[in-house]
Amino acid sequence: MHAWLVVEAEHAGLLPAALARAWTGRSASARLSLPARRGSRELLFIWPDGAVPLRAARWPDVLADWHDIYGDELFPGGDALPVLAEELSSLGPEVLALHAAPGLAGATVGWFEKGALALYEHVGDATVSWTEKDGLGRPPDGTLRSAAAGFVLDRIALQNRATGEALLERALHRILAHDPPPFEELAGMVVSAADRV
């Protein structure tokens, strides 16, 4: 499982204030330079390393209702990353919170702007997307194939993996304006560059 908050490294100076308002305990981070449309872009990956949120995340009511119906966690691993994303984005930058389940069997992406969730996509036991403008929907699976063959469990698992990969790739592409490295390669890079704070 990988769960990170991702922000452009130029906003690292805002992180201490956001962390003080969001978490208590230790955090970890990694600073990576990744290929971008023009040269490279430095990104900061942050995650709790024993830290716990100081409050609950603020989810739109319709997503809270969806969670009550389907039982999938809105952000696997708890509220720590969404709370930090809310606090950091309230200071100016757009912030990405992402989660990837083992084997990419599930994935969650949340974009935060101005202290609130702006876009949400999740694939797991249930699948949903949300924007304030469009409301609830289903995230695109990144392929032209329909989900009609999804009744066979193996196919559903493969579709979830493909959709999870597509969600993560699209989110990282939005920051880089360039294809990101394969997710497992990126995860290895983050782990190798990790600093405990």
HEC per residue, 95-159? EEEEEECHHHCCEEEEEEECCEEEEEEEECCCEEEEECCCEEECCCCCCCCCCHHHHCHHHHHHH
Alpha-carbon gap, residue 23 to 78, rounded angstroms: 12
Distance CA 197, CA 156 (A): 39
pLDDT of 159 reads 55
> Residue 176 has what pLDDT?
87
174: which DSSP letter?
H
- Alpha-carbon distance of 22 to 52, in angstroms, equals 8
Residue 28 DSSP symbol: E
The confidence score (pLDDT) of residue 140 equals 56
Determine the 3-state secondary structure of 64 from DSSP. Answer: helix
**pTM, two decimal places:** 0.85
- Cα–Cα distances in angstroms (integers) from residue 187 to residues 20, 102, 132, in the given order: 26, 11, 30
Residue type, 5: L
Distance CA 169, CA 167 (A): 6
Cβ partners under 8 Å of residue 103, min gap 6: 161
For the chain, what percentages of helix, strand and coil (3-state, to nearest 5) are there? 40, 30, 30
What pLDDT, on the 0 to 100 scale, is given for residue 60? 94
Residue 141 pLDDT: 53
CA distances from residue 193 to 38, 43, 46, 188 in whole angstroms, order as listed: 23, 12, 11, 9
| Residue 55 phi, psi dihedral angles, 5° rounding | -155, 175
pLDDT at 9: 96
What pLDDT score was predicted for residue 157? 46
Containing domain of residue 45, as a range? Answer: 2-196
User: Terminus-to-terminus CA distance in the chain, angstroms?
Assistant: 21
How far CA 81 is from CA of 86, 146, 172, in Å, comes to: 9, 32, 17
Average confidence (pLDDT) per 10 residues, the chain, 197 residues: 94 97 96 89 95 96 91 90 98 96 87 96 87 80 42 43 76 87 91 81
Instruction: Give how many domains the chain has, as a whole number.
Output: 1
